[in-house]
Structure 1
C-alpha cells in the first residue's frame, strides 16, 4: 500500500498529526492557555478587591434588585447600592480609626510618663519576688524600648488612619467592580454559563452553592466578630476599665478585618494595667483575650459555616485557615468558595455517572423485552405477541375471534 492512504473516492487522507487543521488547533490551545495565565497574573494584584467585590455583590444584590424594581433603572440602582456600601465602610473605618489614634496617643503618653517617673519600678519593688525582674529590665534597657514602642504606636496609628495609596486604590477598585457586578450580574452569569461545559441546571446548582457559601462565610464572620466584641467588652466592664461598651464595639469592628483583630485593643489595655501596677488584672485580661477571645474565632466560625453549608466543621476550618495562608485576607471567602465549587463538581460527576448507569440498565431491559416478547411498540414499549410458526388457526377460532372483535368495537362506540 502507498505511504499516503486513499479513501474510496480516491482522494488522499492527510496525516492526522501533520494536518494544517491540527496544527492550528494546537496553536489556538497554546494561545488560550497563555492568555488565561497572563490574565491571572494581571488580576493577581487585584485579587483581594475582586473577591470582596463579588462577596459584597452577593450580599447586596437583594437590596439592588429591590431598588431596581422601584426605580426601573439598573444603573442608578447599582450606584445607590454602592454608595450605601461605601458609606457603611467609611463611617465604620473613620469611627474605629479615630478612636484608635486618640487612645493610642493617650496610652503612649501615659506609658512614657510612667517610665520616666520610675513609678513602674516602685510598683515592682513593692513585691519582693518581682524585684529581680526590675533589675533585669533595667539591665536590658527595657524602659527605653518601651518609650520607643510608645512613640511607634503614635506614629503608626496616625499612618494607619491616613492609609496608604495602595490600600486606597484597592478600596476604589472594589467599589468600581461592585458597581458592574450589581448592574451587569445577569449578563455576567449568562456569559459564564455560555462558556461552561456544564448544563444550565448544573450551572444554576453551582451558582446557588457559591451564593450560599458567601452568605454563610460573611454572616459567620459577623457573628464571630460580635461575639468577640461582647466577650471583650464584658471583661473590660468586669475589670473596671473605662468605656467598656465603646471598646467592645471597636473590638467587634476590628475582628471583621482579617489582618487586625480584637488584640489591637486588649493588648494595650493589658500594658496599661501593668503600668498601673494592676498585675492581677493584666494577667486576667491577657489570658481572657488570648485564650477565650482569640480562639473563639477558630472554634465558632467553622461551626457556623459548616452548619449552613451542611459541611463538616473540620473541612470548613481547613478551608478558612488554608485560604488565609494561601490567599491572605481574601482567603476567608475564597477558601470556602473553592472548596464548595469542588464539592459541587464532584456531586455533578456522581449524578452523571448514576444517570448513565440507569440508562444502561433501562437499555438492557428494553433489549431483553425485545428478544423475549417480539417487537416493541415505539410509543408504549409493549411487546406484540407472536404466534408460533407451527400453530394453525382453525375456522372456528377465526369466527369466534371475529365475534369477540365486533363486540369490543360495539362497546367502544357506545
Structure 2
C-alpha cells in the first residue's frame, strides 16, 4: 500500500476515533442534562406507550394529532390525578385525627393503663417515662407529623412542577410519536429491522412492568383490606383501595396506612391485633411486592425471575422511583443488543 494511502487510512481512523469520543462525551453530557428530568421523562414515555392506541383512535376520529393529544392528556391526567387527590384527602384527614388521638391518649394516661394491663410491658412503660417527657414529646411529634404528612401528600411546589412536566412531555410524545420513532430509526446504528425489534421489546417491557405493578398493587390492597376487616378496623374497603393506590407509588406503599393502624390498636390495648397486623403487613403485604412483581414481569417478558427481580429492585435502587420502569428497560435493551451481536457474529462465521 502506498505511503499516502496509509496516511489516509490512519487519518480516517483518527477522525473515526475522535468522532466516537465526541459522541460518547455528548451522550454523557446529554444524560447529565436530562438527569434532573429523568423521572418525568420516564413516566411520560411510559404513559405515551400505554395510551398510544387511545391516541391513535382519537386521531382517526378527529383528524388532528394536536387536538387528539390534548384530549388524551386531559383524560390521562384525570385517571392519574383523581386517585392521588382521593388518597391525599383521606390521608391528610386521618393523619390529623390520628395525631390528635395519640396526643389525647398520652395526655390522659390511657396508654399507660393499656400497658399496665399487660404486666410484661410495665417495665417498658417505666423506662419510657424515665427517659422522656412523653406528653411534650408526643405533642411535638404529632404536630410535626401532621404538618409533614399534609405537606407531603398535598404536594410541594416541586412535586406540582414535576407532575405538570410529565403531562407537558406526554403531549409531545403522543402528538409527535411518529416523528420520534422515525428519528430513532434514522439515528440508530442498527438496521431498520433491528431497531424496530428493539423498540417493540422496549414497548412490551414498559407494558409488562406497568401492568405487573398494577396487579401486585391490587393484590396488596386486597390482602391489607381483608386484614383490616378481620381485625374489625373501620372502613376496610376504603383503606384497602387507599393502600392499593399507595402501593403503585415507588418508595411508598401500604405501610403508610397499616403502621398507624397498628399503633392505634396498641394504644387501645389490643396488643394481639396490633401484633397480627404488623406481622401481616411485614411478612405478607410488604414481601409480596418484591416476590410477586418480578414473577409477573418475568413471565410477561419471558425472563428468569432472578433477572426480573434484579432489574426491578436494582432499578429502584439506582434510579429512584423512575427505576421501576428504567431497570427492566435497561435490561431489555442490553439483552436485545447482545442478541443482535450474537446474530451478526453467527452470520459473519457463516460467510467465512
What TM bracket, shorter-length normalisation? over 0.9
CA distance in 2, matches of 1:28, 1:351: 26
Residue pairs, 1:94-109, within 5 angstroms? 94-109=85-100
- Which has the larger displacement, 153-162 or 100-109? 153-162
Q: Secondary structure at the match of 1:15?
A: helix
CA deviation string 1:293-332 (max 9, x = no partner): 0000011001100000000001000011110111001001
Find the counterpart in structure 2 of residue 342 from structure 1: 334
CA distance in 2 between partners of 1:258 and 1:179 (Å): 24
Aligned to 1:47: 38
- Farther-moved stretch of structure 1 (96-105 vs 337-346): 337-346
2:234 corresponds to 1:238: no
* Residue in structure 1 matched with residue 214 of structure 2 by the alignment: 222
Does residue 182 of structure 2 align to residue 190 of structure 1? yes
Moved more, 168-177 or 39-48: 168-177
Task: After superposing the two structures, state which structure 1 stretch, 251-260 or 342-351, moved more.
Answer: 342-351
218-227 or 199-208, which moves further after superposition? Answer: 199-208
Counterpart position of 1:264? 256
Q: 1:133 to 1:359 in 2, by over 3 A?
A: same
Normalising to structure 2: TM-score of the pair?
Answer: 0.95
| Aligned mate of 2:320, from 291, 311, 328 | 328
1:112 aligns with 2:103: yes
C-alpha offsets along residues 144-178 of structure 1, whole Å, 9 cap, x if unaligned?
43332222221012212331222122111111111
Alpha-carbon distance in structure 2 between the residues aligned to 1:62 and 1:150: 47
5+ long unaligned stretches in structure 1: 361-414
Alpha carbons 1:324, 1:331 under 8 Å: kept: yes
Q: Which residue of 2 aligns with 1:286?
A: 278
The unaligned stretches of length 5 or more in structure 2 are none
The structure with the greater share of residues assigned to helix is 2
Q: Distance in 2 between matches of 1:31 and 1:349?
A: 24
Q: SS of the residue aligned with 1:241?
A: coil
Aligned Cα RMSD in Å? 1.9
* CA–CA distance in structure 2, aligned partners of residues 86 and 183 of structure 1: 16
Q: Identify the residue that residue 409 of structure 1 maps to in structure 2.
A: none
Which residue is equivalent to 2:55? 64
Q: Provide closer, same or farther for how the CA distance between residues 358 and 149 of structure 1 changes in structure 2, counting only shifts above 3 A.
A: same
Which has the larger displacement, 246-255 or 127-136?
127-136
Measure, in 1, the Cα distance between the counterparts of 2:131 and 2:138. 11
Structure 1, residues 371-396: CA drift from partner, whole Å, max 9, x if none? xxxxxxxxxxxxxxxxxxxxxxxxxx
* Rounded Cα–Cα distance in structure 1 between residues aligned with 2:212 and 2:76: 19
**Corresponding residue for residue 151 of structure 1:** 143
Residue 254 of structure 1 is aligned with which of 234, 246, 250? 246
Partner of 1:83: 74
The equivalent of 1:395 in structure 2 is none
Q: CA deviation at 1:28?
A: 4.5
The answer on whether the counterparts of 1:236 and 1:244 sit within 8 Å (CA) in structure 2 is yes
Cα deviation code 1:84-141 (max 9, x no counterpart): 1111222111100000000000011110000000011111112222211110111121
Q: Aligned partners of 1:338, 1:143: CA distance in 2, in Å?
A: 51
Deviates more, 1:143-152 or 1:114-123: 143-152
CA distance in 1, matches of 2:24, 2:164: 30
- Give the whole-Å Cα distance in 1 for the aligned partners of 2:42 and 2:232: 41
Secondary structure of 1:109's match?
helix
The separation in 2 between residues aligned to 1:85 and 1:318, in whole angstroms, is: 30
Residue equivalent to 2:83: 92
CA distance in 1, matches of 2:2, 2:110: 102
Distance 1:143 1:236 in 2: 29
- In the other structure, the counterpart of 1:307 is 299
Question: How far apart are 1:6 and its partner, in Å?
Answer: 6.3
Distance 1:236 1:6, change over 3 A: closer
